[in-house]
Structure 1
């Protein structure tokens, strides 16, 4: 059984609608795929319907944008209740902050690149909240950069003079809210040093105390040394490990199924959701607004 537990659609910063992500998962030979758009459940209904139609299991999830000590942290949540008030409020606040940040970054970019807000809007699909990937796509269309990778490495990087930070919850709070919503929290690409600063082992221990269940270890942004260290951390803290693609369609080079999760780990995720009273078989979007 081939399982990929981290993908994105046009509900956030992917380039394919949710149903197309599921169809691509089938083409890639996956048996299970999780849709984990940034800070939104908006793609769940389409993805689940496509999974039923195409005979592939879809695990509903979200990737929650967090900050701890000024360091960006991403938390994957599986099987949570999309109508849970406290978690939904957190996701809504994050989306609002992202769009405000995007407007300010475009304002900074305009004098030097000619990029304007209306140019960015041309690359936003299905009501998704605007984020840096959409700015990157606009910069590519304008010929300012060659692709998203160049945009994020230069103009949109955290070291750029155009960069504007956005507010986000502490991951400890996010883990607690995921657990309260019946979800299963997993730390996404926690040692991806090529992306910038990462939280340390002490921070991971704090997340475990709050209810963290697993670490995403096998990810293309982790070196072999980083993967080995994370496996040691997971073993010491009794966490399960996952492997995922972090697929974004053509928005990134990541390919579906390039890293996968052991079926026994998926059983543990399902069991944890069942103990919380969540069946993990689906649900509809509780916030109804897409994030990016």
Structure 2
């Protein structure tokens, strides 16, 4: 590996207010500069809306900026996230996936509201939509309303009692299949990276099956670290990246200042010399 790669502070997974992050794209870029990040991607959920603003601010700072987006998908009924990186913003194949997922997200929010009504709560869809504003409408907005209206003490209780996956199980199958997304985007001059693989309810054996399919259908990379992961998990993912011929990506998955361990550019150290870095050939 070129020696320079070891001295670049890279963060290729972050979120702004255009999806479920705390800071605007401009504020997030300012924070990346403050943290001395030298290569940065904004990867909001199923939207490219913040890229132009973030790119402009990055240019003002002289920060190397990479277009990114975190796409929702599923594999064998398991919801997954995939990060697309270093694409042209007008890529028609990607735009079609993003537009479809935006439609799914709106329908999903309507279904969440309906399921909450079935649990004896009022219809919160319109209020949640207003609360979301320019950001992605989702479960956190319903959680905020449940707290404000006194149904629960805090957001954690909202998810435990009403909004968790077990409570909203009917929503697990709404996202497009991984094979369809990968085959649509493969060959369109972008990196396709499996996000935070250790967060899924998969054994190592099943994770290997997923990675085999991911590679076969056109995936190019895997996040070997996402935020403050255990070092043994990072070593496992490094080995899997080599075993399946997938490039290694890294990111904080930063959403906001929700703890001292969360920061742009902060994640468990990787062994860069042991893996093929996804950003290695980027100018």
Secondary structure (helix, strand or coil) at the match of 1:180 reads coil
Scaled by the length of structure 1, what TM-score is found?
Answer: 0.80
What is the CA–CA distance in structure 2 between the aligned matches of 1:96 and 1:132, rounded to whole Å?
Answer: 16
What is the CA–CA distance in structure 2 between the aligned matches of 1:63 and 1:103, rounded to whole Å?
Answer: 22
Report the counterpart of residue 57 of structure 2 in structure 1: 50
Greater relative contact order (Cα < 8 A, sep 6+): 1
Q: CA deviation at 1:247?
A: 1.0
Q: Which of 35, 59, 64 in structure 1 is aligned with 2:71? A: 64
Q: Which of 150, 161, 173 in structure 1 is aligned with 2:180? A: 173
Report the counterpart of residue 268 of structure 1 in structure 2: 280
Decide whether the 8 Å contact of 1:97 with 1:166 is kept in 2: no
Q: Work out whether 1:116 is the aligned partner of 2:120.
A: no
Report the counterpart of residue 105 of structure 1 in structure 2: 112
What is the CA–CA distance in structure 2 between the aligned matches of 1:52 and 1:161, rounded to whole Å?
Answer: 42
Report the counterpart of residue 281 of structure 1 in structure 2: none
Secondary structure (helix, strand or coil) at the match of 1:24 reads helix
Q: Which moved more, 1:196-205 or 1:2-11?
A: 196-205
Q: Which moved more, 1:171-180 or 1:161-170?
A: 161-170
Report the counterpart of residue 194 of structure 2 in structure 1: 187
Q: Which moved more, 1:133-142 or 1:209-218?
A: 133-142
Q: CA 1:33 to 1:140, structure 2 compared with 1: closer, same or farther past 3 Å?
A: farther
Decide whether the 8 Å contact of 1:178 with 1:184 is kept in 2: no
Decide whether the 8 Å contact of 1:5 with 1:35 is kept in 2: yes
Report the counterpart of residue 29 of structure 2 in structure 1: 22
Secondary structure (helix, strand or coil) at the match of 1:14 reads coil
Decide whether the 8 Å contact of 1:156 with 1:162 is kept in 2: no
Q: Which of 136, 142, 156 in structure 2 is aligned with 1:135? A: 142
Cα deviation digits, residues 148-198 of structure 1 (max 9, x gap): 4444444221111576335222223322333332111111001214xx457
Q: Which of 239, 253, 258 in structure 2 is aligned with 1:232? A: 239
Q: CA deviation at 1:217?
A: 1.6
Q: CA 1:5 to 1:114, structure 2 compared with 1: closer, same or farther past 3 Å?
A: same
Aligned length: 268
Secondary structure (helix, strand or coil) at the match of 1:123 reads helix
Q: Which of these two proteins has the greater Rg computed from alpha carbons? A: 2
Q: Work out whether 1:255 is the aligned partner of 2:245.
A: no
Map residues 77-116 of structure 1 onto 2, 5 A cutoff.
Answer: 77-110=84-117, 112-114=120-122, 116=124
Q: CA deviation at 1:221?
A: 7.0
Q: CA 1:172 to 1:30, structure 2 compared with 1: closer, same or farther past 3 Å?
A: same
Decide whether the 8 Å contact of 1:192 with 1:221 is kept in 2: no
CA-based RMSD: 2.7
What is the CA–CA distance in structure 1 between the aligned matches of 2:180 and 2:228, rounded to whole Å?
Answer: 25
Report the counterpart of residue 208 of structure 1 in structure 2: 215
Report the counterpart of residue 158 of structure 1 in structure 2: 165
Decide whether the 8 Å contact of 1:109 with 1:162 is kept in 2: no
Decide whether the 8 Å contact of 1:185 with 1:212 is kept in 2: yes
